[in-house]
Amino acid sequence: MNTTIMLFLLQDGITNGAIYALLGLALVLVFAVTRVILIPQGEFVTYGALSYAMLATGQVPGTARLAVAMGLVAFALDLFFARNALHARLVIHSVALNIAFPVALLGLIYALVGPGTPIAVNIALALLIVAAIGLFLYRIAFQPIAHTSVLVLLIASVGCHLALQGLGLVFFGAEGLRAPALSNAAVTAGPLRFTGQSLAVYGLTIGFIVALWLFFGYTKTGKALRATAVNRLGARLVGIRTTLSGQIAFLLASVIGAISGILIVPITTLYYDTGFLIGLKGFIAAIIGGLVSYPLTAVAAIVVGIVEAFSSFYASNFKEVIVFTLILPVLVLRSLAAPEVEEEKD
Amino acid sequence: MTQRLPLIIFALVMAVIPLVPGIPPFWIVLLDNIGLAALVAMGLVLLTGVGGLTSFGQAAFCGFGAYTTAVLTTAYGVSPWLTLPASLLVSGIAAVLLGIVTVRLSGHYLPLGTIAWGIGLFYLFSKLEFLGRNDGISGIPPLSVGSFKMLSPDAIYYAIWVAVLLSALLTMNLLDSRTGRAIRALRRGHVAAEAFGVQTPRAKLLVFIYAAVLAGLSGWLYAHFQRAANPTPFGAQAGIEYLFIAVVGGAGYVWGGVLGAGIVVILKEVLQSYLPYIFGGQSQLETIVFGIMLVLLLQLAPQGVWPWLMSRLPFKPARKTPDTSVNLEHRERAPGTSPILLHIDRARKQFGGVLAVNDVSFDVNAGEIVALIGPNGAGKSTTFNLITGVLTATSGKISVLGNEVANAPPQEVVKLGVSRTFQHVKLVPDMTVLENVAIGTHLRGNSGAISSMLRLDRADEARLLAEAARQIARVGLSDQIDQLAGSLSLGQQRIVEIARALCVDPMLLLLDEPAAGLRHMEKQRLAALLRQLRDGGMSVLLVEHDMGFVMDLADRIVVLDFGTKIAEGTPAAIKRNPDVIKAYLGAAA
């Protein structure tokens, strides 16, 4: 093997790894706050990427309409659960968040969409769409069962993944899409060429890691979010609004997912079901990080990316096999290192 | 016989269906698919609903079964019937290998692990040359009996449903046995089961292999039904679908798996034929509905359809009462080298910087009731956990009749004749009192999984149940014997735990706050029972906060405070001991 190939593979691995790291971070974030293992994270990626790609071609993506529909359901749920204690403030708040916001967004998209729309506007619109979907997803699927076991939440999470992936097929079709590059800038260092795209990936990843680490370690809100995960009832008793915590976590996760998607879609063609695999690789990183550690997750994600790059060069047929079996020794080590603790299950 | 009646009727109905004139052949194909899915779901019921181990990877085991027969019949010309054991063996071996790494995982790591190897195996199937890569293997010969080849869907129908019914029967037999109770106890955590000698890792591996073999059987049938095998039906999506089937039907019930398979397969068919009219000609649209349904179901009916149906039945299935005249032999005592029953010599337990038990020493002699008292946080329960092997001591020696426990696991400690109850009741709430108590007899039976499935364990089983019923009568709960443990009051649940502990045939009974939650009369009855046990030669070590109860009952009292023994003596002496008074009431007293 020569050094140039190795450097190329490393660069490729690190760029992919940085994306996995972003996703892994979002998964750790959601798990730490809500105990939901967010399998639909991959759908946030594809929804963000493909919504952006469709907007770039001047079309209105179906996801915008999905956001409106989900908002309606969320509104109905709000009314239903508060049916015995309805008051005007609650209704106004619910209407604003669940109906006015997605409808206004849809209107904005119809007004702005076109072949000449600036890239930044398209990105912002795509992020808003996915943010709305993430928010409503928590409200609809997880908030009513937020108190149940990790396992029930996981099965619900798989259900969400199935539904969202199927809807992705309806919205974007079976053909893959690609979007215009975010910037054409590039830096050359030796034999390697760093595109503005990949530099943005690195920058965002590092930024998010630092921000999340600071947020959860050093701010009151961050600590409140963590407390929610450990003991919902206890958190509520000391005045933490657990529902809000869950919504914030899903909002952040969906935006992070969408950003990752928008960063990749100019580099590779994405299909409606690509997100699942990308998300799962983020998972491997998150699991290596024990679903708690942000820096460890990021490092693990880079390793996953590099392993993937090298195995696609040496044994391209078995790339996925190698990446997914990577997780097994890690899981075994984890369970050996931390012996099983008795948990009260229901 | 009455218990088998519904099964026989069901079998007859299924046998007649293909003979009904004018039945559309397509229905038979659907029923074939239902049977195939039901086999996998039944394994998942045992694994997930009963054993509490969630797997998203069962489809991969179908793949092992299908590919094994595909390769053997096409490349080597082996007869399909001969490949059946091979298919089951390959799935079983795959389960052993994956199970050893997977079932050790706790909590949510387990399902994530299954997703990971499920996907990994799918890619492996679709890349391996000798498995035909993405195209798979075609031209698999049909099953045949003599010159009759099972080519049509209604011919293989019988093979599939005989397999389903046999598997259901074997599975139900397994659940209703000594091994079955151990499996059913897994879902509630492992501490209680291990305290009665259940090797929980082995029990977990057992259900894992069992579920995989059922999936392998389904795969083998599938290969000969489709006469081809390709990777798609063995991927992650299919694995998720099988779990969906189990959840829909009722993950805790064998027939829930069959019912769920029926609902999901038919629903899928209906959705596939009508959804394209709504959304235009796309495929895979049914997954949207499935996903939404799964979420809805978890919110509205997390138990599934089967228990909902059963609760609507006008009659309740009768339970058989055990025949208490059958005797269970006493447990073989380990030979002792010391007259002292329990000897604790400077036992010490440190949790990081916290010293929970600080060089505590005391003895319990045969035929004696010793109470361990002390304020909250004194280290009483930790001492219990050190004796029973739940926790390992930092230093010090604990021996039973001179046999050093030396940090043995709970399963070994109980063999020495030490059994216990728990401060926080650890019963399986959806098992009856009888079944819960029978877990205590685990070490006194010897039937394994296979003899249970084949009902060769009945004599053994009758002895165990009789013993359980006798101990239930002894603690005065005979009227509640068939009630679910979760429906009893907390005080009664504590008494059930005592009956379970008695089933071990112990020499030493460790009771952690047995009187908490009992009414006055119940406490008196408990005290009378414990005295009677002592007079029969058993020793009792109990932790208790009710001083009236302790002072009346105990022969000797050991007092702990902040992990240190501050006094030991007769109740009368302890009452006057200034250190004890100080610990309980503060310095000024």
Q: What distance in Å separates residue A325's CA from the closest CA in chain B?
A: 6
Q: What is the pLDDT of residue B531?
A: 93
Of A320, A324, A332, the CB nearest to B101: A332
Tell me whether residues B111 and A344 touch, CB distance under 8 A: no
In this structure, are strands B342-351 and B228-229 parallel, antiparallel, or unpaired?
Answer: unpaired
CA dist., res. A288 & res. A302, Å (int) = 12
Burial of A184: CB neighbours in 10 Å, binned 0-12, 13-18, 19+: exposed
Identify the CATH assignment for B5-311 out of 1.10.3470, 2.40.128, 1.25.40, 3.30.310.
Answer: 1.10.3470
Of B54, B109, B290, the CB nearest to A335: B109
- Enter the DSSP assignment of B234: G
CA dist., res. B241 & res. B139, Å (int) = 27
Taking contacts as CB-CB distances below 8 angstroms, the residues of chain B near A158 are 56, 240, 243, 291, 294
Give mean pLDDT, residues B510-519.
89
Q: What is the pLDDT of residue B2?
A: 54
Helices (H) and strands (E) in chain B, counts: 23, 14
Quick one: which of B418, B419, B529 has its CA closest to B477?
B529
Residue pairs between chains A and B whose CB atoms are closer than 8 Å: 146
In this structure, are strands B508-512 and B418-420 parallel, antiparallel, or unpaired?
Answer: parallel
Give strand ranges (E) for B334-465. 342-351, 354-364, 369-373, 395-400, 403-404, 418-420
Taking contacts as CB-CB distances below 8 angstroms, the residues of chain B near A288 are none
The pLDDT confidence band at residue B38, using thresholds 50, 70 and 90, is: very high
Q: What distance in Å separates residue B20's CA from the closest CA in chain A?
A: 38
Does A258 have pLDDT greater than 90?
Answer: yes
Of B54, B287, B288, the CB nearest to A151: B54
Chain centroid to CA B69: how far? 32
Sign of CA dihedral B86, B90, B91, B95: positive
Tell me phi and psi for residue B2, to 5 degrees: -60, -30
Of A145, A166, A332, the CB nearest to B287: A166
Other C-beta atoms closer than 10 Å to the C-beta of A287 total 25
B93-152 per-position pLDDT tens digit: 999 988 887 777 766 677 878 888 888 899 889 888 888 888 889 888 888 887 788 878
Find the range with the poorest average confidence among A204-208, B315-319, B466-470. B315-319
Q: What is the pLDDT of residue B368?
A: 92
Closest-CA residue of chain B to A317: B127
Best mutation site among A36, A138, A170, A342 for testing chain B: the one with the most B CBs within 10 Å? A342
In the block, which residue shows the tokens 């039937």?
B447
- Enter the DSSP assignment of B330: P
Taking contacts as CB-CB distances below 8 angstroms, the residues of chain A near B101 are 328-329, 331-332
Q: Where are the alpha helices (DSSP H) in B313-406?
A: 380-387
Tell me whether residues B117 and A328 touch, CB distance under 8 A: yes
The pLDDT confidence band at residue A338, using thresholds 50, 70 and 90, is: low
The answer to whether B484 and B432 are in contact (CB under 8 A) is yes
Best mutation site among B97, B245, B292 for testing chain A: the one with the most A CBs within 10 Å? B292
The answer to whether A154 and B53 are in contact (CB under 8 A) is no
A9 to A2, A306, B289, B340: CA distances (angstroms): 11, 7, 41, 69
Q: What is the pLDDT of residue A346?
A: 37
Best mutation site among B102, B112, B124, B427 for testing chain A: the one with the most A CBs within 10 Å? B112
Of B124, B188, B287, the CB nearest to A165: B287
Percent of chain A with pLDDT over 90: 21
A61-91 per-position pLDDT tens digit: 999 999 999 999 999 998 888 888 778 888 8
Of B108, B286, B290, the CB nearest to A151: B108
CA dist., res. B37 & res. A330, Å (int) = 32
Helices (H) and strands (E) in chain A, counts: 15, 2
Same-fold call for B5-311 versus B338-417+506-589: no
A93-138 per-position pLDDT tens digit: 888 889 999 999 999 999 988 888 888 899 999 999 999 999 999 9
pTM beyond 0.90: the answer is no
The pLDDT confidence band at residue B3, using thresholds 50, 70 and 90, is: low
Taking contacts as CB-CB distances below 8 angstroms, the residues of chain A near B112 are 37, 283, 287, 327, 331
Q: Is the CATH number 3.40.50.300 carried by domain B338-417+506-589?
A: yes
Taking contacts as CB-CB distances below 8 angstroms, the residues of chain B near A150 are 107-108
Q: Across-strand partners of B354? A: B351
Q: Across-strand partners of B432? A: B484
Q: What is the pLDDT of residue B181?
A: 92
Question: Higher model confidence: residue A212 or residue A137?
Answer: A137
Domain ranges of chain A: 3-179+196-337
Does B1 have pLDDT greater than 60?
Answer: no
Q: What distance in Å separates residue B118's CA from the closest CA in chain A?
A: 9
CA dist., res. A279 & res. A199, Å (int) = 21
Best mutation site among A155, A272, A307 for testing chain B: the one with the most B CBs within 10 Å? A155
Contacts for B588 with CB less than 8 Å, ≥ 6 apart: none
Best mutation site among B288, B300, B422, B425 for testing chain A: the one with the most A CBs within 10 Å? B288
B390-449 per-position pLDDT tens digit: 888 888 889 888 888 877 888 988 988 899 999 888 999 889 999 999 999 999 988 888
Does B165 have pLDDT greater than 50?
Answer: yes
Q: Across-strand partners of B371? A: B542, B557
CA dist., res. B253 & res. A110, Å (int) = 51
**What is the distance in angstroms between the CA of the first residue and the CA of the last residue of chain B?**
69
Tell me whether residues B240 and A158 touch, CB distance under 8 A: yes
Closest-CA residue of chain A to B120: A321
Q: What is the pLDDT of residue A196?
A: 77
Q: For residue A215, which amino acid is it?
A: F
Other C-beta atoms closer than 10 Å to the C-beta of B473 total 14
Taking contacts as CB-CB distances below 8 angstroms, the residues of chain A near B290 are 159, 162-163
Tell me phi and psi for residue B277, to 5 degrees: -65, -30
